[in-house]
Chains A and B, each alone.
Chain A
Amino acid sequence: MRLPTTSGAKARVPVVPLASIVLLLAMFLFLAGNVQERDRTRTELPASAGRAEAATGAGCIVIAKGAGETVTYRFSDGEEATRPMGGPTDIYLAVRQVLSSNPSKPFVIKADAGVRYSYVDDVLERLRRAGVRELVLLTRRRLTGSAP
């Protein structure tokens, strides 16, 4: 007796849907990186438990540790990526220019936890004088009870 051969379905890995999902992921990551990340400066942010969300499109001022005791400054108007700044006076002028077209523009400060406070204070003073009304000191999340 001859039994008929079974024509079972071939086992296959569905490559096409996988490729679609990978493509979607890649597109999403690319867009998210471009849209949300205005600054890629590596900084060790201070920790805080209370964290308010910064407004979308806020201007960004970066104070990062440089060589030795120095710091480097960067600035973004919230629309473009950050660019280097010479010091607080340059930041003041740039902020004034931004506020002339949008007086209620919010700002964020992204500063290294280890920098001397005088550097941050200097920038805060310039922002105050420029007419900034609201800003967020960027932090990383700290669990309640852990050391700062």
Chain B
Amino acid sequence: MKIGASRVPRAAIPLAPMASVALLGVLFITMAGFFQADRGLLIRFQGDETTADPSWPEDAIRAEILPDSSIVVDGKHVPLDRLLNVVEPNLSRDPDRVVMLYANDDAPYGAVVAVVDLLSRPDAGRGVRVRRLWIPTHREMAEHDRLFGRDPFEPRPAGR
């Protein structure tokens, strides 16, 4: 009589479902990271008043945002979509020239962000980009006014 060998199931760890669950986990984490990560405009401070460079860029391009969100560059009204066209010729002559941005107290914060976004984006212009964007706080402006006796956003005297 021949007795057939009993078929004992082989012990195995079910890898396929584990891989599926791991893949799902990776997908969830990736998607959550994409949707939930805090993102925005990066601002770097020069330092506090004890370490900051006290020099003031006298030849800076001056952009001001008014309460109605309109923009004035070196004394002339400029629409947002033409801002780079106005700034770029100055920067093509001197790429390191500072663009100084001042927002009026009553200007909406969203308008300020729109201008900062436009000026700080490397791909916004047609080749020339703003390398040095400076947004002095109102306190810094007042300190400058006190030290030098004039508002840096006032039109400069002729010949300077």
Contacts and interface: CB of A to CB of B under 8 A. Distances in A.
B113 interface: yes
B110 A114 contact: yes
Main secondary structure of the interface of A (DSSP, over half): mixed
A131 B36 CA distance: 28
B78 interface: no
Interface string B106-117: 111111111011
Contact of B121 (A50, A129, A139): A50
A93 interface: no
Contacts of B28: 25, 28
Contacts, number: 145
A81 interface: no
B109 A117 contact: yes
B109 A111 contact: yes
A28 B123 CA distance: 37
* Most B C-beta atoms less than 10 A away, residue of A46, A117, A139, A142: A117
B44 A113 contact: no
A134 interface: yes
A120 interface: yes
A76 to B, nearest CB: 12
B48 to A, nearest CB: 5
